[in-house]
Structures are given as C-alpha cells and as structure tokens.
Structure 1
Amino acid sequence: MKYKILIWLPVVVIASIIFWFSDQPYQEQDVKPFLGDFINEKWIEGSFDWVQFDYAGYEVSTEKLGGTAFVEFFIRKGAHFGIFFLLGFFTYRALIQTLLKRRITTGFISSIVFVFIYAVQDELHQHFTGNRTPLIHDVGIDTIGGIVGISLYMLFNHCNPKQ
C-alpha cells in the first residue's frame, strides 16, 4: 500500500501545482517585470521581428507584444507543455506499475485521456479565475506535452532490454 501511495504521489503533486497556478489571477503570474530586468528588449525585438503568427485569435509578434511579452508568451506556453509532460509521464508510470500491471496500450490510452481531461478542467478552472483566459489551444499544448511525456516513459522503460 505504501508503495502505491509513493508511486501516485508525483501525480497528485503535479496536478495540485497545475490547479494552484490556474487559481492565480494573471497579475500574480506576470513575469514581464522580472524579464525586463534580465533581457534586452530591443535585441529581442530586432532579432525576432520576423516571427509572427496567430495564437487563439491573437497576433504573437515582437511588434504587437514587445520583446518582454513576446518572451513571456513562450515561457508560459513552455510551462504548459512542461508541466503536462510531467503529468503524463508520472500518470503513465503510476498506472502501469500499480493498476494496469504492464498493459501498455491500455496504460497509454488511459494516460492520454486523463491528461486531456485534466487539461480541459484546467482551462475551465481558469475561466472562473480573474484575468485568465481559457483557451482550447492550451488544451492542445497540454495534451501534446502529456503525450510526449508518456511516450518518453514508454521509450525508456518498455524498450529497455534489461527489463
């Protein structure tokens, strides 16, 4: 029993971190003032002036956002990808080691479904948080992050000839 709790603990901790961040208004997460102290905004704007794309109906470019907000956009989306990468990785590990006993396909699908549902819940939660915008695009980034985490766990653990 203690073993199962320890295996599931990272999943609970990561899910709690995601929930905690979703519960914070944007102003509490704004890293632009911090970034402004460490990056050369003019250099970012000059070096990345060729980057321009649409994300959820908003233009992402140094011209539109400025250098600091442009960098913050990528940090925020990278954080989405990274935290859900970890959620997928540890969810798959926990399922395979405790409930599914090496049923790889079932574990893969179950983990993806869990990550997707948690990503949707995360965006719904943000809908009720001040100055936060729920975006289906973020669900996509989150789910892809989870799939990559699950896939890497599978690659390193199921393809290992020592097991």
Structure 2
Amino acid sequence: MRKYLYWLLPLFWMGVIFYSSAQPYGEQDIKPFLGNTLNVAFLKPYLDWISFTYHHSEVSVETLGVAGLIEFFVRKGAHFGVYFILLCLFFIAFVKTSKCKFWTVIALSYMLTVTYAVTDEFHQSFTANRTPYAGDVVIDGIGAAFAALFLIFLKRNKK
C-alpha cells in the first residue's frame, strides 16, 4: 500500500499546474518586474531580429517590448518545463507501482501527460483573461516528449 504514495507526486504536480492555470493573466504578469526592477531594455539590439506569429498575434520586440518578449519565452518555457516534470513523475509512479515494461511506462506516462495538458487548456477557458490554445498543448507535448527522450537516454546509458 505504501508504494502507491508515489502517485502523490504527479497528483501534487497536477495540482500546482491547476492552481497556476486558475490564476488570471494579470496575477502572473512578470513584465513590470522585468521592465522596472531588472530593466532589460539593454537587450533590445540583441532581440530585435525575433519576429513570428503565435496564436494570431505577432511576437516581437516591436509589438511586445523587450520585457513582453522575454515574458513570452518564460511562459512558453514554463509550459515545456512543467510537462517535462509531470511526465517524469508519472514515470516514477508507474515504475514504483507496476510491473509494466519500460516502453509501456513511457507510452502511458506520455499519454497521461498530454491528456492532462489538454484538460488544463480547457480549464483555462474558465479563468479570467486566459484563453485555451492548442499551440500550448503542442509545447506541453514537446516538453513531455523531451522528458521521454531524457528517460530513454538515461536507461541506455545506465547499461
């Protein structure tokens, strides 16, 4: 029975993600900190070349400012990172509580992680100033895929 406590790891992390996506955008806005406290304006010449469209909006220094551009990458990096961690926690829980083979555990961990990413984006549709976006699920899935590749790499180098 104690071994099932390992499932508290992904459940806790899913709770952290749920809490974060339940916060309105304004409560997570780090632009004032980046612009006023750190004053990242000196990075403008190095970031001016970046320009692309994401979720029907231009992402560039011109449209977002330096602080806004950095915040964009921090937010998308967070998507990548939290789902990287979630897959690893699912993996640990499966390894510690089942007799499934490595590849089955990787596949189940990936499917559960991406499924949670989809439900989290849906959850955001109920949060003020937040919108669900399939592109974020893609970033989440890429984070999970990198975690799976990382675990495969660890297994292969363990031998």
TM-score range, shorter chain: over 0.9
State the 1:13 CA deviation.
1.4
Q: Give, in whole Å, the separation in 1 of the partners of 2:131 and 2:45.
A: 29
Q: TM-score, normalized by length of structure 2?
A: 0.93
Give SS of 2:158's match: coil
Give SS of 1:66's match: helix
Q: Which structure 1 segments of 5+ residues have no match? A: none
State the 1:4 CA deviation.
2.3
Q: How does 1:144-159 map to 2 (within 5 A)?
A: 144-157=142-155, 159=157
Q: Give, in whole Å, the separation in 1 of the partners of 2:2 and 2:19.
A: 26
Contact 1:44 1:62 (C-alpha < 8 Å) held by counterparts: no
Q: CA RMSD in A?
A: 1.4
Structure 2 CA distance for partners of 1:106 and 1:83, relative to 1, 3 Å: same
Paired residue type of 1:132: R
Q: How does 1:49-68 map to 2 (within 5 A)?
A: 49-68=48-67
Give SS of 1:60's match: strand
In the other structure, the counterpart of 2:39 is 39
In the other structure, the counterpart of 1:103 is 101
State the 1:146 CA deviation.
1.1
Q: Note the alpha carbon deviations across 1:8-51, whole angstroms, 9 max, x for none.
A: 2221111110000010000111111111211322x222211111
Give percent identity, aligned residues only: 40
Paired residue type of 1:17: V
Q: Give, in whole Å, the separation in 2 of the partners of 1:39 and 1:107.
A: 45
| Count of residues in Structure 1 that have an aligned counterpart in Structure 2 | 158
Q: TM-score, normalized by length of structure 1?
A: 0.91
State the 1:102 CA deviation.
4.3
Structure 2 CA distance for partners of 1:102 and 1:154, relative to 1, 3 Å: farther
Are 1:133 and 2:127 counterparts?
no
Q: Give, in whole Å, the separation in 1 of the partners of 2:123 and 2:83.
A: 16
Q: Give, in whole Å, the separation in 2 of the partners of 1:97 and 1:151.
A: 20
Q: How does 1:1-20 map to 2 (within 5 A)?
A: 1-5=1-5, 7-20=6-19
Contact 2:3 2:96 (C-alpha < 8 Å) held by counterparts: no
State the 1:159 CA deviation.
4.1
More deviation in 32-41 or 74-83? 32-41
Q: Give, in whole Å, the separation in 2 of the partners of 1:126 and 1:44.
A: 32
Give SS of 2:16's match: helix
Runs of 4+ in 1 over 6 A off after TM superposition: none
